[in-house]
Structure 1
């Protein structure tokens, strides 16, 4: 496993520490790796949806563009 040195804002560092202190994670490294895994999974889901939207748009199943649908979906996810 490669080692990295990264800096966090004070607010983010405090949040990371609180997660470790609450025994949610055993270390900041474990937490950061989990956040990256979650982001990668979310990107795979977005890529899958994007491919499906491309197909739907090409086949005439929607009049909305892929970018319109993705923007609406992202706004619903973030919330």
Structure 2
């Protein structure tokens, strides 16, 4: 992985973590509540929000676009 790719991966992890935290906070959830709802541990939630969880995706000649949107409330 080049230094440019590493920088892009770190930036993406940071942006994803920020978006997940903002969504959790907008719902008024604690990290524990989000963890319970997602079937995760609280420490995994904390790491993901702090960009400590890294995912590697390689797709030559393609861009990765990720969007996080809240689901509609259950009826």
Q: Which has the higher helix share?
A: 1
> Scaled by the length of structure 2, what TM-score is found?
0.42
- TM-score scaled by length of structure 1: 0.41
Highest Rg: 1 or 2?
1
